[in-house]
Structure 1
Amino acid sequence: MSQLNNPLEVYKLLPKSNCKLCGMATCLAFADLVIKGQKRFGECPHLESQIIEEVDSKIIKQMAPEEQLKQILVPLQREIASIDFSASVQRLGATFSGDKLSIKCLGKDFTVDAKGNIISDCHVNIWVTVPLLNYIIHCAGNDLTGKWVTFRELSKEKIWDSYFEHKFEKPLKQIADIYPDLLEDMIHIFGGKQVEKSYSSDISLVLYPLPKVPMLICYSKPEEDLESKLNVFFDSSAGDNLNVDLIYSLCGGLLTMFEKIKSRHIQP
């Protein structure tokens, strides 16, 4: 058995029954805590001792997501030096001036130099820095198709879709439920645009975390006995323009920003 270094690999070995006997609501949530070192794999009551023994030695405890991104940053900054900025403008949907490249990220200008240093009028954090540099280096430059797909369709794995729903869509829905003006604020703060209602939603808006990686957020308000619903879609070309893992990381950064907006608007 190869080493297990992410929650999805652990999840594949669990019964997926969501029995809650481990103290967690779902097997996926349990797997997440196992990788973080907050739960032992053997705390799942359905596993045989032989499997537990074998798997325990293969689990690599995960660093905090922010620390993981910091480790990736330095090699990316070195690699940026090999990119011809002037020849990359069309591929990236960027502009070039002097010796620097400027890219719109959530409606804000981020300027990058040949050493991978990033300057912007707004706060620059690791959640944006790493995906942005990776985008500059690896983006295929494929044109947008206009076809919206789920995260699972981008990743080609159902298990990734469950993880994305658990870690991004559900928390974002909870924020939207508590703070109804959130989606409207996204339009003003992050350069989003409201579009024709899609997928039977009450509100549909498009954000551009990166020029060629747009996301469609569809939200349906709660109604009588029906709870609210929020789904996120990506242009079908997104996986060619940014690695799926980094699309997920970028969404994690967005969620952090949205939580900060909510906390500023909702006082105890």
Structure 2
Amino acid sequence: MSGELSPIDKAKFVAAKRAAEFVEDGMRVGLGTGSTAAWLVRCLGEMVREDGLKIRGVPTSTRTAELARDVGIDVISLDEAKWLDLTIDGADEFDGELSLIKGGGGALLQEKIVATASDQMIVIADIGKEVERLGAFPLPLEVIPFGWQTTKALIEETLVSMDVLGRNTTLRMNGDVPYFTDEGNHILDLHLNRIGNARQLSLVMNQIPGVVENGLFLDVCDKVVVGYGDGRVEIRDINAGTVEIDRLDFLEDDNLFTDLMD
């Protein structure tokens, strides 16, 4: 039930619920990965089942694909879709320019490909994800397993000349073994604390041999839908320069909550 949700989960839910209203019949929609994106998939699934919404979803990870199929969304590949009308995804951090850090869920490569193959990208997040400057959240880099320790050393050496506060780099683990992405790669998390020049850092990191992609999403996001624990929602449009305030009410018998709590 909705009363059992924590304030942060309520914030994620209202952001996802409000963002789902941007999805129209017949759209090809990129479906993000992570806890907030999972709320979105649930909301869209309810719209498919209850309202007859017809969309085709392109998931950014195997777990999102499984959830989308479970809730009744027609899942296709990006190659089948070729181009998307809209992608909705979460973020680990976003700033006032709607620059993002993504990849905490381990799907940054597919997420970036899908987002850049869309007419529009909307980010959904709770208010706790907003920062004045990116970098408090570790920046993920997807790297190939071959020679990853050499790649790590090159990254740390390169960071010496970058405008960052920290240079500690760690291999993401899954228990006692290295984490593998859907593409069979590893993730190195860069604990930078503060990123002074995100554009320069993104460009330089992607030039290092072994690095597949980084988790900085720059000039990709068009809108951010920010949720609060009391049901308030802000829709910030970077292109129009507008901020819209809305509020969503919670219903104790909401089918979506009931499904989630099962």
TM-score, structure 2 as length reference: 0.24
Structure number with greater Rg is 1
Higher RCO structure, 1 or 2 (CA under 8 Å, sep 6+): 2
Larger helix fraction of residues: 1
TM-score, structure 1 as length reference: 0.23
Larger strand fraction of residues: 2
